[in-house]
Amino acid sequence: MKARLFSGTTGKVFMLLCAMYFIEYVDRVNLSVAAPLLKKELSLTNTQLGLALSAFGYCYAMFQILGGYAGDRFGPRRTLAFSGVLWSIGTLLTGFVGGLGTLLMSRLLVGMGEAGTIPTATRAMSNWVPRVKRGFAQGFTHSSARAAAALTPPLVVAMIPLLGWRGAFIALGCVSLVWVVVWYSYFRDDPRQHRSITAGELADLPDYHQGRTVNVPVPWKPLIKRIMPVTLVFFCHAWTLWLYLSWLPSFFVGTYHIELKSSALYTSAVFFAGVVGDTVGGLLTDYLYRRTGDLNKSRRNVIIFGFAGSLSFLSCVMYFHDQTVVTLCLAAALFLLEMAEGPIWAVPIDVAPTFAGVAGGFVSTAAGVAAMVSPAAFGYITDLTGSYRPPFILSIGLLLIGIVLSFRIRADIPLQVPGVKVQPLDPAGEH
């Protein structure tokens, strides 16, 4: 039977997850768009602005594993609803900041709320997405996130003349609260308990993984050992991604001395390339799995190809200075970088579906650490050198390290846990 992903109840659940990725990424990157205005009004240096941009990452990194554990223990329905309330309040409070201190506090709250959301969404997908669609599902949900990164600059720039930058944050926080209400009303942790699910849809889905609800203890040591390679690879990915998410508008303004509206257009163009890259990478990894039956190579080879291509185009940014050429190079680099997102995030489900929340928490912690350090490092290096280009060198080096670490990933060997049945891998389908 053909696996569904965009139709019926499973399709609605999947689109709710895509909406979450989109909305939370709007709330994640909106500060970088308004950064030039905040910097001027609050009298911030680049270093101080870098700290504000990285504040999100502190709580985001600290609470990833706890958030993923909560997703396994209490279920995605309650965990994501609670998380949504937290990041919504943080976004709302950003509209009322009066200085660096209150700005840091509001961004810490956004980070706390969004911590664990992607691991918990991964937990939800372990039950609601057919195995043969996992790479695509992860790629497409992250495409939604990059679509948010692409659309947020013109969206926020358009809202500012109408509402002011403070009003823009308040409005975006209210949108997040609406998603919370819809999610909690419609989603159910166990697909079998949803009143609208059909027998045909259930036949496409994997066995329900109850996780911590059956009191199976988390096998921390073997789980960490198995998930650490992909976690380190994702850190290399996330470092470069956060360079884009936090500093790209300021890069265009500071390097080419253009207006905020123009920088928003260039930023959007770059991020739309990432939208396509996420989906292409997810499709490619699933295609290779179905064609070859080799799950590990289908994940690993797409990651290596994406990293190698991305660092090649990032290197071009160091040598070319034409605004259009640099924009195209940045877009190509992000397209290839994002091709690795789907296969990376499919690995936690491949390795440990029963503990997908905790496993995803480790992976997402890497993104949190990168979110904490990368923006601050970019601001410091920029102040130190007087140029926006030197930070790209560090990203190039980390992508090289990521390629080497990719060979340590073993997505084809599921974690064996006493008392938990592991379905055999079958590239032809679920049954």
Asked whether residue 258 carries a pLDDT value surpassing 80, the answer given is no
Parse the chain into domains and list their residue ranges: 8-190+219-406
DSSP 59-119: HHHHTHHHHHHHHHHH-HHHHHHHHHHHHHHHHHHHTT--SHHHHHHHHHHHHHHHTTHHH
Q: What confidence tier does 77 reach under pLDDT thresholds 50, 70, 90?
A: very high
Asked whether residue 4 carries a pLDDT value surpassing 70, the answer given is no
Q: What confidence tier does 284 reach under pLDDT thresholds 50, 70, 90?
A: very high
Mean of pLDDT values over 153-158: 83
Instruction: Look at the block and give the residue holding tokens 């990194």.
Output: 61
Homologous superfamily of domain range 8-190+219-406: MFS general substrate transporter like domains (1.20.1250.20)
3-state SS assignment for residue 287: helix
> How far apart (Å, rounded) are the C-alpha atoms in residues 75 and 174?
24
The pLDDT of residue 431 is: 41
Q: How many Å is the maximal CA-CA distance in the chain?
A: 62
The pLDDT of residue 2 is: 43
DSSP state letter for 411: T
Mean of pLDDT values over 388-413: 90
Over the Cα atoms of the chain, what is R_g? Answer: 21
Average pLDDT in the chain: 85
The pLDDT of residue 142 is: 81
Q: Which residues contact 328 (CB under 8 A, 6 or more apart)?
A: none
> How far apart (Å, rounded) are the C-alpha atoms in residues 292 and 351?
19
> How far apart (Å, rounded) are the C-alpha atoms in residues 22 and 246?
16
Q: Which residues contact 404 (CB under 8 A, 6 or more apart)?
A: none
In tens, the pLDDT along 317-360 reads 888 888 888 889 999 999 999 999 989 988 988 888 778 888 88
The pLDDT of residue 79 is: 95
Asked whether residue 174 carries a pLDDT value surpassing 80, the answer given is yes
Higher pLDDT, residue 243 or 403: 403
Q: Which residues contact 299 (CB under 8 A, 6 or more apart)?
A: 135, 285, 343, 344, 346, 347, 350, 409, 411
In tens, the pLDDT along 239-254 reads 998 888 777 777 777 7
Instruction: Look at the block and give the residue holding tokens 């999100």.
Output: 56
Q: What confidence tier does 396 reach under pLDDT thresholds 50, 70, 90?
A: very high
C-alpha closest to that of 296 among 411, 426, 131, 406: 411
The structure tokens listed for 392 are 């790209």
Q: Are 339 and 302 in contact (CB under 8 A)?
A: yes
> How far apart (Å, rounded) are the C-alpha atoms in residues 412 and 415?
10
The pLDDT of residue 213 is: 46
Q: What confidence tier does 1 reach under pLDDT thresholds 50, 70, 90?
A: very low
The pLDDT of residue 144 is: 87
- Terminal-residue alpha carbon distance, the chain: 9
Q: What confidence tier does 429 reach under pLDDT thresholds 50, 70, 90?
A: very low
In tens, the pLDDT along 6-50 reads 788 988 999 999 999 999 988 887 887 788 788 888 877 777 887
- Neighbouring C-beta atoms of residue 322, cutoff 10 Å: 10
Mean of pLDDT values over 156-177: 90
Asked whether residue 266 carries a pLDDT value surpassing 80, the answer given is no
In tens, the pLDDT along 104-144 reads 999 999 989 998 898 899 889 888 888 778 888 888 888 88
Mean of pLDDT values over 165-174: 91
Q: What confidence tier does 419 reach under pLDDT thresholds 50, 70, 90?
A: low
The structure tokens listed for 101 are 């201190």
